[in-house]
Amino acid sequence: MDEILTNWLLGLIAALLAVLVLDSTGEPFLASLAPVANVLALVTFLAFVILTGAFLVYTASFRD
């Protein structure tokens, strides 16, 4: 399960970086990929927030 989650997050980050690279090549590529970039950014951010929250809950369980 850890490998699947890690690969999924790395894939999202790689896709987001690819969109940023295409952004530097010019406007025609960016115009068609703008909605995809927004969705990737949102999903990556939400995944980061969820994983951070899960980690904090997990570490808080060891306080006792």
Number of domains comprising the chain: 1
Reported pTM = 0.53
Listed residue (43, 57, 35) closest to 8, CA to CA: 43
* Structure tokens given for 39: 């969705």
Nearest-angstrom CA–CA distance, 51 and 33: 27
Residue type, 40: L
Residue range(s) defining the domain that contains residue 10: 2-60
Please check whether residue 44 is in contact with residue 12, taking contact to mean a CB–CB distance below 8 angstroms.
yes
Q: What is the pLDDT of residue 30?
A: 67
pLDDT in tens, 4-63: 778 878 888 888 787 777 777 767 766 777 788 788 788 888 888 888 888 888 888 887
**Would the pLDDT of 1 be above 70?**
no
Please check whether residue 29 is in contact with residue 60, taking contact to mean a CB–CB distance below 8 angstroms.
no
